[in-house]
Amino acid sequence: MRWTELENEACPVARGLSVIGERWTLLILRDCFLGVRRFDDFQSSLGITRHLLADRLKTLEEKGLLSREQYQDRPPRFEYCLTRTGRDLFPVLVTLITWADAAVPSPQEAPYRLVSRATGKPVAPVLCDAETGARLTPRDLRMIRPGLAEPEADPGRG
């Protein structure tokens, strides 16, 4: 497995990382969800070099997560908008935020919150089974490789 050829792997984690696994990419997408659209706004928000930002935006456009849309003619100017595929990534960001708040605590207050679009109130998102609606904690799930022996015990019981 080579990092630069992850998109050809059978493993969905590897294929996912081929799109969002590079340095800065998920932070660019976070800014998109916060409403950032323009090159200089991403740049000042992230402190990333302009070179790298241009590269990441181009890749995200090519992979179909952002669309580059012209918002003025003379001189031509563009903004970067989340596509359907990009918006579908929101649960990943949500679970990452939830995990990081518990696992990597910070003295500072978070600069944004997750709220319901309908009520405007904060929500605490958790995983459930789509069919039964039953809550799925990490202990309720396992990853198995069909055809291979099971792990001898729960991974990471230690």
Partner DNA sequence: TTGACGGGTTCCGAAAGGGAACTTATCTGT
Partner DNA sequence: ACAGATAAGTTCCCTTTCGGAACCCGTCAA
Contact of residue 133 among DNA, a second copy, none (CB under 5-8 Å per partner type): a second copy
Q: Which structure tokens are listed for 2? A: 């080579």
Specify the DSSP class assigned to residue 68: E
Q: Is the dihedral of CA 137, 139, 140, 145 positive or negative?
A: positive
Contact of residue 70 among DNA, a second copy, none (CB under 5-8 Å per partner type): none
Q: Does 58 bind a second copy (CB under 8 A)?
A: no
Rounded Cα distance between 125 and 77, Å, is 37
Instruction: Please work out the total of residues on this chain that contact a second copy, with binding judged by CB under 8 A.
Output: 97
CB of residue 55 to a second copy, shortest distance in Å: 14
**Cα end-to-end span (Å), the chain:** 29
Contact of residue 46 among a second copy, DNA, none (CB under 5-8 Å per partner type): a second copy
**What would the x/- binding string for a second copy be over residues 16 to 55, using CB under 8 A?**
xxxx-x-xx-xx--x-xxxx----------xxx-------
The CA angle 113-117-119, to the nearest 5 degrees, is 95
Specify the DSSP class assigned to residue 134: -
**What would the x/- binding string for a second copy be over residues 114 to 153, using CB under 8 A?**
xxxxx----xxxxxxxxx-x-xx-xxxxxxxxx---xxx-
CB of residue 39 to DNA, shortest distance in Å: 4
CB of residue 130 to a second copy, shortest distance in Å: 4
Rounded Cα distance between 144 and 10, Å, is 14
